[in-house]
Structure 1
Amino acid sequence: MKRRHKWAIVALVLLALAGLLGGGIYYIAHVQEALWTKAVTDILEVTAQGRHALDTYMEKDAETLHLLAADLSGEDPADGATLLKKVRLFSESGTSYICVVLDTGTVYTDRQQTGYVLSQEQLDTFLALAESGVRRPFLDGYTGVWTLGNYERFTFADGTVGLVQKTRPLAEVAQRFSLSFYDDTGFSYVVDREGDILIRSLHKNSNRTFQNLFDIVDLQGNESGAVETFRAALGNGKKGVARFQYQEQEYVFCYVPLESVPGWDVISIVPNQVIMEQAGEIIEQSQILLLLVAAGVLVLTAFFLFYRYSTRRIVAAKEEARRAAESASVAKSRFLSNMSHDIRTPMNAIIGMTKLAADQADQPDKVRQYLKNIDLSGRMLVGLINDILDMSRIESGKMVLSETDTSLEELLTGIVKMVQPMVTEKKQQFEVRLLQVQHETLCFDALRLNQVLINLLSNAVKFTPAGGAITVEVAEQPAVKEGCARLVFRVADTGIGMKADFREHLFDTFSREQDSRVDKIEGSGLGMAITKMIVDLMGGEITVQSQPDRGSTFTVELDMRLPGRQLPAEDPLPPMRVLLADDDAATRQSAAAFLRELGAAADIADSGQAAVEMAVAAHGRKADYDLIILDWKMAGLSGIEAVRGIRERIPAEVPVVIFSAYDWAQIEAEAVAAGANGFIQKPIFRSTLYHCLRQYVLRQEPSAPVGGDTADLSGRRILLAEDNAFNQEIAREILQEVGAQVETVDDGRACVERFAQMPAGYFDLILMDIHMPVMDGHEAARQIRRMRRADAVTIPIFAMTADAFAEDIEAAKAAGMNCHIAKPLDIPVMLREMQRYLPR
């Protein structure tokens, strides 16, 4: 019995050991596979990040090239000097730009002083290129260097087809974007769908012998099915991992398609042996542990428990780490994408308006308007940047409203001008309507409301196909709160709409509808969440109505406080008759009501043809209108066509004005040629019509733009400490324009020494930058305050710095400074503060 029991125990132990051994082998294999999978996932993620960096790099080149193409499209292709000049303006270190007139074969490049004619073979190369894209690497005939280039076709002013190309050395691209792995045993390559290697690492250890990936895998005895699967994955633009033999060694291929260049992929090739070496120590320790546990049942039990515990812990830790990494990566990418969207919108307006101002420098009125729009967009941009930098507010959800008396007319006009380029590009219909708006000046946070409306409008443009319609309505309703007016903003579009189940999550963070219609439309999923947060903070409400393929309507309702100050009364206008034509009933009624409030007798027409007939009939009665206002886009007879019809039978003494939500620059030449006297921008407020009547009927000059530099600092001496020459020049010019005498120094020590050299009372004020060499602004202010002289304590010292957070203001005060002026300078605020400290 004992013997039988003994053998039973032995059998049990052997069975336990066999189970232990089997479990141990399974455990080692599982850990090894998990470590391999984690390593390969990391390689694939790094490859995707490298792909994203290369995509961003190429997209930036494409954007620059598009700006050059847009700039050249308005030129005469025969004007070689101008083409060469514009090409050189875009020249930058390490790149080359060319412009090719495809009809003549003439090329202009920043490397030559004059244009020259391409050979037929060279011209055929450019003619074969599509509308835009990236060329395969080619040998530059001028430099003898392998080159990578972006290109874009465009049309000159006379209809001639041109092409611009931006190139940079292939070695520079490879140096910047090639990835290496595991002490340079693995590298990344850029290949096309046929497997040809286009960009390879320049590192000496990188394999430079093969030219095509399939030449590697086809000749090494790899399974044909696996090779064909890999080939199909590249051909279909898939992302994934494959393993192949090469020179009796197994390699891992991680491939990710480029988004900016269809048909190209980034591939990382790493020896599998190197990857597995990372797991060698863990595997060896597991084997030792297995041998020790095999010595006895107790160790076997302990190992079994350890195996269960460690396996679960490893899997849970891996899953938690994976989810955390994915969440952080998605949050960061979407946040940056949203901020890029918000920043690019005013930046696009700044760039566009700057070009318009340069092109029309001989027309001061227009230049002033362009500069005003640049200022509005710049202020919005500064506000956005401040929010991005102030991460504590974003992370904690804290945001403080800055409510001031603001012109609703200026806000909406600025928004319209910012949206115009996007609407024009997609050839969409754009209309802005006012419905019973009685208060033009209200107290609200202009930056936040601007952000809300720009977000809604940019989404409407983005999700509305070309030729669609976008409408903005602004209505005023009685407010429940005393001393307020309720403003209702509606942004409607005829776009793709939304499904009902998605509308419930529209305002959730990172929410984005999963739909093939929006897969290729950029978006972070943060925009609507931020919009909802701002509307809630302003005490308002936002709702949405939407149906798939029928468009969306967003409604924002806000109670805005009436202005705290009494607005100046308008000068009364003499009796006058006005004819207004618009095919939009709401606009007609609103504008006619405003005209009647101003004391004008208003006749309205619902079409261009009706306006012509009414104007001609009035002329026949010898009772001409004092002013005729025509909408540009009307069904049937357009506004410009109506102007021509009126001018054929009515003398030029009767002023005719065009109004539209579109840019005046698009129609100015045609409108003026037809006989129009001027233009007013929609939306049409009461003040818009008031100034229009004064300008075109009473022949009074339009009011000069309101500036903030009305201060008088004549005879005041100001010491400016600033190490940046451009900032010195800006501040000096501004102060000299208002009469101040300005002395400049380049650092804090020089400021202290100059102040000490001059007698007490010589300087009236010190403007002090904070970050300067030799001595910073804080220390300079402290040393001045410690001087034993009468004016050391009393002279006003202003901090003039880009450090704009609350703690920076407190630091300036602690150093003895009286005032903190943030850069970029708000000129009206700076001059107002100076006058407060330097009273007459």
Structure 2
Amino acid sequence: MTQDNSKDNSANKYTNKYTKKTSIKKFLLLLYNIIIIVVAILSSYSYSITTENKSIALRLDNFCNSTDSMKQLTESYLYAEKGYVDNWAHYISSNNMTIDEAIKFVQNINTQGNRYAHFVDMDDFSAISTIADKNGNYSVNCYKTFYDTDTNACHAMIKKMQNIFKSQSGQVYVLGKYRVDGLQQTVISVGTRVYLNIGNNKTKPYLLLRLLPVDYLKNAWAFPTEYKSAEISLINSNGEYVIQSPSMKSRTFYDYIRGYNFQNDYNKVDELANKIKSSDSGLLQYKDYRNENCYWYYSSFGKNLDLYIIGYIPVKDIDSVNMNWSIVAIICGTVLFLTILDTFYILSINHRLRKAASEAEHASQAKTQFLSTISHDIRTPMNGVLGMTQIAKKHLNDPEYMGECLDKVFLAGNHLLTLINDILDISKIESGKMAISIEPFSLKDCVNEVVSIIRPQAEYKGISLEVNMHDIIYETLSADPLRLNQIITNLLTNAVKYTDNGGKVLFDISQSRLPDDDEKIRLKIVVSDNGIGMTKEFQETMYNSFTRALDSRTNKIQGTGLGLAIIKQLVDLMNGSIDCKSELRKGTTFTVYLDLAVLNEHKHLDTVNPDSLYEKNYDFSSLHVLVAEDNDLNWEIIKTMLSEYKVSCDRAVNGLECINTLTSSSKGFYDLILMDIQMPVLNGKEATRKIRKNEDAYIRNIPIVAMTADAFAEDIKACKEAGMNAHIPKPINMKQILSVLITVLKKDYKF
């Protein structure tokens, strides 16, 4: 036994020693693999950085070369133009021409329509042009204005003109840039001295200038396509612009650099000016007016021209990181796969987990933002509902005051319903589940229905609502009346909402024929107001969800910022267009165009004007209604509403009980079924399908009206496909119930 134990101890010692060695080997192997990976990563990273730095240097060098090419192009162009002026001056002087003869000579010899010349009298700086201005005048006043105006800029222009006048043959000076009166054209010019015959065998020296439009020279500058943000300017040694690029807003180039880099440090600006004057070219790095780091390459035209070309490009356009990570990925991936495959999988899993966590965090942030955006507008009407309900309970003995409280509860509830509908609509649209239901409808009835809803809101604020319906070719059209109603209602609601008390809202609707389609008509809807208007900045994002203008007045107006987003996307769904013209404090005009199908034959729409329901005393006491509703509170509401009009009703708590109640009742007892959709045991659509298959003709043909909170267009379509005659959305509108009851009372089941 002792011997066996001794063997076991020896074996354990050997095993432990082997395990320890194996662990050390594994550790060393792992360490070796890690070192290989690190070396591979650092090597490939270093290679990529080196490659990218070379690429950046090459791109920057190409940018500088491109700028130099434009300088050479400009320089050749200016020397060529100076050559024209020298030839003209020599010929005019040699032939002892008068100024009239000289002008006619230049007019005849000048073949380039966008070039012309000025003859400037250097005594009083009056000038004559070779072309007339818009008023037919040949005289030019801009040089005399330079002479008479006591500013540094004008003094500099006169000094340049004098330098040109005194220059030797072959020297090129540029006078620029300035605006020629009459022609309203910005130019630069080159010139020389010319002698003109002034009579009595006398000659007088004039300054002959050849004018070059700045726009022509700008159009000749074109960077390669990879330098989309690059710009070019021309300056003189004082930093004054000869040609100014769009982004350089200041008076001079040095003012621009100082304003966005040195503020009031004139010493650094002077150092920059001296550096540019003392060198032929150079590369600078400063910030632009967007506070972005930019490269500025300058190159001199030489001392004779006193010009410098400035090429400008944001650093990010040159230093775009485009490292060759494919090499890194191949090396690291191979090493990882051969050495620590398990670790690779773990990292991959961790990456997916981090990605999922990031997506979850983004979703949580989106949810928080959504709730934060809408929380205030939900709580406001809810506060009205709960607060006024509590107040009404304390004034049960005052019916008049309690009625006012309930009216306010009703208004707050309607606002809350509108809010919920907007949220659900935008959710459906953005998820691509919004459906358009095409059916015939009466345009007149649609307009009347919308106006009947909006007019009380306008009258409450003392706003004049003007409705113009004209040039109506077809009253009956084919479209989605629900969505058309929604577009018009939202436009009018916004117009009333954002128009001050006593303002005016115009609703104009008209039709016009399409030149190439006889089966459609173009419907034009215009909603205009003289309200608070919108800024141009807000108009750029006004169709985004949850977007509202930030204004002390709009902040007091309840709304989700979904109205315009819903309008825009509904118009797009109906293949229409919408246009907006608005100015702050002057009002807004929205114009919607929709191409809708027309009906060649008038079709009966079986519509009932809700406003006329209270004008006639209909007797509903003979009607018996079966209500399929599983919710006790909803049953109590519909029962109470129907009882006010002496309609008797019974309840079924699910679809199966509804069928049993109907089949067990005497024939003809029930005139109508109000059917909820989402019920236990058997839902409303399944119950309707079973009823429509019943052998008894009375049961099979009984009118069934959906009364449900499923209120989208696809829900309405599904109800009709199940066999229902009509659809009433919750919360229940009693006018819609009465319209259905009148139809049943008349035994006319065309809903």
TM > 0.5 fold call: no
Which TM bucket (shorter chain)? Answer: 0.3 to 0.5
From the CA coordinates, give the structure whose radius of gyration is larger. 2
